[in-house]
Amino acid sequence: MFARLSTYQGSPVPAGGDLTAHSEEIVRQVQDLPGFRGVYYLVDRASGKAASLTLWDDERTMRESEEQAARIREETARREGQRVVSVEHFEVGFSRLGP
């Protein structure tokens, strides 16, 4: 499995601010891309720093999604008043969710 980690910087997010306002729209845009396995969106409300982590079956499908991912990333950042700080790619060494 492979992962793309995108980091963003924006304004601080109020404690009661809705972090899921556009989540369904974003997921809908990426979920049908070949090789897509999942997404996490991480936010530090106090600093306005955020990160998205998308998971892919393999490096090929991750790389093939780059153009669409860049478009989604830029549109989302603009809409949320953020700027894209970095985009990095990783091989997932291991993962575990659960109890």
Using DSSP's 3-state secondary structure scheme, residue 85 falls into strand
56 burial (CB, 10 Å; 0-12 / 13-18 / 19+) is buried
Q: How confident is the model at residue 60 (pLDDT cuts 50, 70, 90)?
A: very high
CA distance 53 to 33: 15
Cα angle 19, 15, 87; round to 5:
45
What confidence tens digit (pLDDT) does each residue in 3-57 have? Answer: 999 999 988 877 776 767 667 888 888 898 999 999 998 989 889 899 999 999 9
Domain ranges of the chain: 2-15+38-91
